[in-house]
């Protein structure tokens, strides 16, 4: 089943070749505007412990993490599947409805494009800025990025699971997405309470901030970082599974 979803994903990419090209253009423009933003901010605002070169790498790491997180895009389609009655059909298939949604809406071509591009730009950036990399730092940072992306997607899933009770949840998800811009700012810019919120409640900092600290050698590899990731991952996994099962048990097929 997974193999078929992958084949379908690539087939969709070939169908619209112009979109394939425009994705590259969009990524380049998005990256360029972000770099210009940091250049302006860095000239007019004091950013503790962050140079412009490090902010460039921070931006690339964020884009890399978000690219991996695109695998879970299908979860955002759950409310529409409930409203249309499509979820009823998914429940009788020999595959979890959530995995079915992820597979159906996964744009693997886009994900690979973004991952390859950001990886290439990261390598070039480290070379140009003469920043030394240690293998253990790269490995730990990569593991943290993967776990951070998973935690973020589970938090995102919890928002969309509320559709089991609220039916339409656009007002909730739009409110959450309006906060997404906070991901691009290093946690140093916020007060202590906000740092805790963006780490343990809304896991923005887990996506990019802590992996960047490790990769840029701005802090030693501390066991407490890994424990935070593991602890938050287990908590979100438990809550997500419980909320989903509770939602399915209460589901009344209001879409069909």
pLDDT in tens, 14-37: 666 666 666 667 667 767 776 776
pLDDT band at 150 (very low <50, low <70, confident <90, very high): very high
DSSP the chain: -HHHHHHHHHHHHHH-HHHHHHHHHHHHHHHHHHHHHHHHHHHHS--TT--HHHHHHHHHHHHHHHHHHGGGGGGGGHHHHHHHTHHHHHHTSSS-HHHHHHHHH--HHHHHHHHHHHHHHHHHHHHHTT----HHHHHHHHHHHHHHHHHHHHHHHHHHHTHHHHS--HHHHHHHHTTGGGGGS-GGGS-HHHHHIIIIIS-STTTTHHHHHHHTTSS---HHHHHHHHHHHHHHHHHHHHHHHHHHHH---TT-
pLDDT band at 149 (very low <50, low <70, confident <90, very high): very high
Q: Which is more confident, 237 or 21?
A: 237
Average pLDDT of span 181-193: 84
Report whether pLDDT(243) > 90: yes
184-215 burial code (b ≥16 CB/10 A, e <16): bbbbeeeeeeeeebbbeebbbbbbbbbbbbbb
Lowest mean pLDDT among 35-44, 117-126, 130-139, 144-153: 35-44
Average pLDDT of span 224-246: 90
Averaged pLDDT of the chain: 81
**Confidence at residue 155, expressed as pLDDT on a 0 to 100 scale:** 92
Average pLDDT of span 230-235: 91
Report whether pLDDT(9) > 70: no
**Confidence at residue 54, expressed as pLDDT on a 0 to 100 scale:** 85
Report whether pLDDT(123) > 80: yes
Please report, for the chain, the start and end positions of each structural domain, with discontinuous segments joined by +. Answer: 2-250
């Amino acid at each position: 089943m997974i193999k078929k979803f992958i084949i379908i994903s690539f087939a969709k990419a070939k169908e619209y070749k112009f979109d394939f090209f425009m994705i590259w253009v969009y990524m380049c423009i998005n990256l360029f505007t972000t770099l210009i933003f940091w250049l302006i901010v860095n000239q007019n605002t004091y950013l503790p412990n962050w140079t412009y070169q490090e902010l460039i790498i921070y931006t690339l790491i964020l884009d890399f993490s978000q690219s991996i997180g695109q695998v879970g895009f299908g979860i955002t389609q759950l409310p529409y599947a409930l409203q249309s009655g499509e979820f009823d059909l998914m429940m009788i298939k020999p595959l979890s409805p959530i995995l079915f949604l992820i597979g159906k809406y996964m744009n693997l071509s886009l994900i690979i494009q973004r991952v390859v591009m950001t990886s290439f730009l990261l390598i070039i950036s480290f070379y140009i800025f003469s920043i030394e990399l240690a293998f253990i730092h790269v490995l730990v940072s990569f593991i943290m990025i993967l776990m951070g992306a998973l935690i973020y997607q589970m938090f995102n899933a919890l928002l969309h699971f509320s559709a089991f009770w609220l039916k339409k949840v656009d007002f909730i998800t739009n409110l959450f997405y309006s906060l997404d811009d906070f991901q691009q700012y290093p946690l140093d810019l916020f007060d202590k309470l906000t740092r805790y919120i963006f780490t343990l409640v809304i896991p923005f900092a887990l996506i990019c901030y802590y992996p960047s600290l490790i990769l840029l050698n701005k802090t030693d590899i501390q066991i407490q970082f890994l424990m935070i990731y593991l602890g938050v991952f287990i908590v979100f996994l438990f809550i997500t599974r419980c909320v989903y099962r509770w939602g399915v048990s209460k589901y009344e097929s209001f879409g069909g």
